[in-house]
């Protein structure tokens, strides 16, 4: 009987495994028509209309999009303005008033606002005002977004399109990609950079650079037509790639370079489509706003490519502004008109028939976009957070959000300080001292020394309060990824306890020994291993107990994640390695430099059970 | 049945040792509550509710010890607030309350012990094992009351000498420090003098005899047997892991089962046994008195 039921189980497993295995990657290659792409776009818009309770697009703009000005609406407005005729004035007013009181937005956020204002047809001077203060202030993202704004014809004294293009090209890695950090290209950042550079595709060196990047992207496409970022398959990366290649006239449906196993780029996105029209970040996941808005504008970008219109971030609804001389030399408005005529004729045909036409359309798109091309880009990070960009990239944020759970990730500035409780406590101590003095006075203990003594005690109390930093649990374990304004690099941190896996049935010892997987953190000048451990504790809600004084660099980590020293013998406790080397310095003294890899490891034998290198 | 304090000193010592051992080696909140309740009640009943200031002192000690633990220990899953990058947790507060209740309970127990076990009884119990040890023990136990008595005397003398004004508590504190220093010097000297004078009287040279005869009656036997049985039951439950409690990172009691419940009941009976005996004796005494 036992053997029978066992074989039954095995057989059913054998049957279900291939089934479940093949279901997600079922080859569902389609030749999408313009109508079908349109219905995908409409599906997303309908989903947003339903979820925001709006009757039509104008209602949506005047309602929830205006309310979300400055926080969640920007990418929707940019997308809508490129595909629908609508009046964005209420949104524009809301964003303008938001920006009037806005201080301390990051560079890339300001550039995003500039783009949204421009998309809404604003004549605000914000777009040109912020350029000098934002380009290059936040790494590669601020160059990419800054270039998008410049591509729209705005100018600033310190930067020209030429200088930013050169800067971006100098940041390309050997593998053809770009990334926020590290040595290898990242899909999303590479796609965003192509989009920003696309108006200059006809210049020989840019042409060469973009071609290498396209090869990089093509090589990394997965079998289902999509992409994965930091090990997680997701639709956002594919959306970025679709928008990017559309900007340089590559057809994401028919171009051989972007068809893998019969699946094209749109297949790679549509695989994540949910029944209600929205998109999820992972297969089988729930609606994800970032995934949805990126799918929306990548489809619109594709549609505009087939229609020969400018790429997604080139706003053709606004009045043309004077264009820099160096850009405007090589093309005329007539070529653009020609392109429009040609493609409008083919726009309603099936794309399969129109591939030849779209090829010509694409090439004209490239030239016309030279003046004012701008395309998709780094929503990935920005739309997700509505704040800033120089974080490991959205995919890592999302991955960590998935694995470390229950802390919603936000990105904040590091120098956020709440007014705090201290004034109240100090006032309470002062009040108590006054009341005590009064009581003594009434009890006729009126010697001056009594009052001196009370003053001394109150002073000591106030000194202790000033020296302690008390924060509420929610405030401390806020789950925010800290963005540092004067970051000098990135370090990675990992917390592991492999030496004790299986030695105890404690629920706080993970089966794989990983308490925090390799995670990147920005560092400021002079930050120590201890500072980054505390930052990780705050961001990912990890329990850490320290003893000693961090102010004097003499601090000892007694426990992490409820695993303490001495829990597994007299020689057990936490030690740290940096770049695989065991430093013989206090973790509060070890000042980090860019690229350092920190590991916190649990040892049971004073470090002899770890690979120690001195 | 005779009064608990009139039992054979060895029986009393066994009872105190077993209760305080279980109380100190088991941190289960139920055990702690039983210890504290039993010992505080026993002390209050024996002293008829007096010693208000010492109760106040123990209350203060309890509060300070409870609040000190979360400041130095930061284990625990429920974070109340974060102080200097260290979490201050509910669990460590609970742990602090539990252990300070245990400390206060055991302190009350020891106060009753010193009241019941006069130095004569103590010498009876330990004298045969080691005269020197029993000497040190009885001197140590005598030391605290002697110290405070002597401190009071010195304090009064200082006041009479006009060394402090009463409108000024800085001088007050200074004066008390001076008294403390005087009394500690005196205490050291007194210890040596006592030892010398005991030696001069021939202490420890031969077999010790007692002035009072401590017989071993049926009451003694039954109390001793009851103490040992109950202690064994409770110890068995603890050894079997049925009475176990972990505070960190989340408070969690082990599944106690039948053996655990038996252990709790045994410990409760052990702790409250002298209370029963004293109450029974008192009631009987009152009854006899009422018939006179």
Using a CB-CB distance cutoff of 8 angstroms, which residues of chain A are in contact with residue B247? none
- Average pLDDT over chain A, rounded to whole? 76
| Residue-level pLDDT at B238 | 94
Residue B160 is assigned to a structural domain of this protein: no
Kindly indicate the confidence band of residue A529, based on its pLDDT and cuts at 50, 70 and 90: very high
Kindly state whether A447 is in contact with chain B, defined as any CB-CB distance less than 8 angstroms. Answer: yes
- A437 touching B (Cβ < 8 Å): no
Q: How far is CA A112 from CA A151, A158, B138, in A?
A: 13, 19, 83
pLDDT band at residue A39 under the 50/70/90 scheme: confident
Q: Do B83 and A468 touch (CB under 8 A)?
A: yes
**CB contact (8 A) between residue A445 and residue B171:** no
Average pLDDT on A303-318 reads: 79
The dihedrals phi and psi of A29, each to the nearest 5 degrees, come to -65, 135
CA A172, CA A166: separation in Å to the nearest integer?
10
This complex has an ipTM of: 0.76
Given an 8 Å threshold on Cβ–Cβ distance, is B167 in contact with A472?
no
What angle do the packed helices B131-160 and B90-116 form, to 10 degrees? 100
pLDDT for B224 beyond 50? yes
User: Looking at the domain assignment, is residue B182 inside a domain?
Assistant: no
Cβ of B249 and A562 within 8 Å? yes
| Tens digit of each residue's pLDDT (9 = 90 or more) over B100-137 | 999 999 999 999 998 898 888 888 888 778 878 888 88
Report the interhelical angle of A204-219 vs A235-247 (nearest 10°). Answer: 150
CA B75 to chain centre: 29
* pLDDT classification of A54: cutoffs 50, 70, 90: confident
Q: How far does the CA of residue A468 sit from the closest CA of chain B (Å)?
A: 6
Q: Which residues of B touch A468 (CB under 8 A)?
A: 83-84
Q: Do A564 and B75 touch (CB under 8 A)?
A: yes
Phi-psi region of B45 (alpha: psi -120 to 50; beta: other; left: phi over 0): alpha
* Domain-embedded: residue B190: no
Q: Which domain holds residue B287?
A: 4-128+208-291
- CB of B241 within 8 Å of any CB in chain A? no
Residue B258 forms part of a structural domain: yes
Do the Cβ atoms of A550 and B85 come within 8 Å?
yes
How far is the CA of A343 from the CAs of A253, A361, A456, in angstroms? Answer: 17, 6, 85
Evaluate whether residue B186 is within a structural domain. no
Cis peptide before B249 (omega within 30 of 0): yes
0.95 surpassed by pTM:
no
Q: Looking at chain B, which residue has its C-alpha nearest residue A465?
A: B83
- Min Cα separation B86/chain A (Å): 6
Contact call for B84 and A544, based on CB within 8 A? no
Q: Per the domain annotation, does B163 fall within a domain? A: no
**pLDDT, position A537:** 92
Domain count, chain B: 1
pLDDT for A142-161, tens place per residue? 888 888 888 888 888 888 88
* pLDDT band, very low/low/confident/very high, at B183 (cuts 50, 70, 90): very high
CA distances from A555 to A453, A533, B82 (A): 34, 12, 17
Q: Is B183 within the bounds of a domain?
A: no
Between B87, B168, B169, which is nearest A543 by CB? Answer: B87
Residues of B in contact with A564 (CB under 8 A): 75
Size of interface A-B (CB pairs under 8 A): 70
| B31: nearest Cα among B277, B271, B249, B276 | B271
The Cα–Cα gap between A99 and A112 comes to: 12
């Amino acid at each position: 009987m036992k053997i029978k039921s066992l074989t039954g189980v095995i057989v059913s497993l054998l049957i279900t495994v291939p089934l479940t295995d093949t279901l997600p990657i079922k080859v569902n290659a389609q030749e999408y028509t313009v109508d079908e792409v349109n219905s995908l776009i409409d599906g997303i818009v309908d989903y947003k209309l339903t979820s925001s309770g709006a009757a039509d697009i104008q209602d949506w703009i005047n309602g929830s999009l205006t309310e979300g000005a400055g926080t969640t609406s920007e990418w929707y407005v940019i997308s809508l303005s490129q595909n629908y005729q609508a009046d964005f004035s209420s949104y524009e007013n809301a964003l303008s008033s938001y920006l009037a009181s806005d201080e301390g937005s990051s560079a890339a956020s300001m550039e995003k606002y500039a783009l949204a204002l421009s998309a809404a047809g604003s004549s605000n001077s914000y777009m040109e005002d912020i350029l000098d203060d934002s380009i290059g202030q936040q790494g590669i993202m601020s160059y990419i977004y800054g270039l998008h704004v410049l591509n729209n014809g705005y100018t600033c004294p310190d930067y020209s399109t030429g200088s930013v293009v050169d800067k971006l090209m100098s940041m390309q890695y050997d593998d053809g990609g770009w990334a926020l950090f590290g040595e290898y290209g990242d899909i999303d950042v590479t796609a965003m950079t192509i989009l920003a550079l696309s108006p200059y595709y006809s210049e020989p060196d840019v042409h060469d650079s973009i071609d290498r990047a396209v090869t990089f992207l093509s090589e990394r496409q997965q079998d289902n037509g999509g992409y994965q970022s930091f090990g997680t398959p997701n639709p956002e990366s594919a959306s970025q790639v679709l928008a990017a290649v559309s900007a340089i006239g590559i057809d994401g449906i028919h171009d051989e370079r972007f068809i893998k196993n019969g699946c094209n780029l749109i297949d790679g996105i549509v695989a994540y489509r949910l029944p209600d029209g929205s998109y999820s970040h992972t297969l089988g996941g729930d609606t994800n706003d970032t995934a949805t808005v990126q799918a929306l504008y990548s489809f619109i970008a594709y549609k505009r490519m087939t229609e020969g219109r400018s790429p997604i971030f080139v706003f053709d609804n606004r009045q043309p502004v004077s264009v820099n001389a160096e850009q405007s030399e090589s093309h005329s408005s007539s070529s653009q008109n020609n392109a429009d005529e040609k493609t409008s004729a083919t726009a309603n045909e099936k794309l399969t028939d129109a591939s030849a036409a779209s090829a010509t359309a694409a090439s004209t798109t490239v030239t016309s976009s030279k003046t004012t091309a701008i395309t998709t880009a780094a929503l990935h990070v920005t739309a997700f957070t509505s704040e800033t960009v120089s974080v490991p990239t959205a995919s890592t944020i999302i991955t960590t959000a998935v694995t470390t759970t229950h802390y919603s990730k936000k990105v904040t500035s590091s120098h956020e300080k709440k007014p705090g409780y201290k004034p109240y406590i100090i006032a309470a101590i002062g009040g108590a001292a006054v009341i005590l003095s009064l009581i003594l006075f009434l009890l006729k203990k009126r010697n001056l020394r009594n009052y001196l003594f009370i003053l001394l005690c109150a002073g000591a109390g106030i000194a202790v309060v000033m020296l302690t930093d008390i924060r509420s649990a929610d405030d401390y374990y806020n789950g925010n990824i800290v963005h540092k304004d004067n970051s000098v690099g990135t370090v990675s941190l990992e917390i592991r306890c492999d030496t004790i896996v299986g030695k105890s049935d404690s629920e706080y010892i993970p089966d794989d020994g990983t308490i925090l997987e390799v995670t990147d953190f920005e560092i400021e000048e002079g930050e120590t291993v201890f500072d980054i451990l505390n930052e990780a504790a705050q961001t990912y809600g990890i329990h850490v107990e320290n003893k000693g004084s961090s102010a004097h660099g003499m601090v000892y980590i007694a426990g992490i994640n409820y695993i303490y020293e001495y829990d597994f013998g007299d020689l057990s406790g936490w030690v740290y390695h940096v770049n695989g080397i065991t430093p013989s310095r206090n973790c509060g003294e070890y000042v980090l430099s860019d690229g350092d890899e920190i590991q916190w490891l649990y040892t049971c034998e004073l470090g002899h059970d770890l690979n120690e290198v001195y | 049945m005779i009064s608990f304090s009139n039992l054979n000193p060895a029986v009393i010592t066994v009872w105190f040792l077993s209760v305080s051992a279980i109380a100190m080696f088991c941190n289960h909140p139920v055990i702690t509550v039983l210890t504290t309740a039993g010992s505080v009640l026993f002390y209050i009943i024996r002293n008829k509710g007096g010693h208000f200031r010492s109760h106040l002192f123990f209350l203060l000690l309890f509060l300070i010890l409870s609040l000190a633990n979360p400041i130095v220990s930061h284990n625990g899953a429920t974070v109340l607030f974060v102080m200097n990058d260290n979490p201050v947790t509910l669990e460590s507060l609970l742990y602090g309350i539990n252990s300070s209740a245990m400390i206060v309970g055991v302190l009350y127990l020891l106060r009753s012990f010193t009241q019941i076990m006069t130095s004569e009884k103590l010498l009876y119990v330990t004298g045969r094992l080691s005269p020197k040890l029993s000497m040190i023990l009885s001197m140590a136990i005598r030391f605290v009351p002697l110290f405070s008595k002597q401190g009071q005397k010195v304090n009064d003398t200082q006041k009479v000498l006009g060394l402090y004004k009463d409108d000024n508590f800085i001088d007050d504190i200074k004066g008390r420090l001076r008294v403390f220093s005087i009394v500690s010097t005196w205490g050291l000297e007194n210890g040596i003098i006592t030892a010398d004078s005991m030696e001069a009287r021939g202490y420890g040279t031969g077999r010790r005899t007692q002035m009072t005869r401590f017989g071993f009656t049926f009451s003694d036997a039954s109390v001793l047997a009851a103490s040992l049985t109950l202690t064994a039951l409770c110890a068995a439950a603890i050894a079997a892991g049925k009475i176990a409690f972990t505070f960190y990172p989340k408070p969690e009691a082990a599944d106690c089962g039948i053996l655990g419940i038996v252990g709790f009941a045994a410990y409760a009976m052990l702790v409250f046994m002298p209370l029963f005996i004293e109450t029974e004796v008192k009631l009987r005494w009152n009854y006899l008195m009422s018939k006179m």
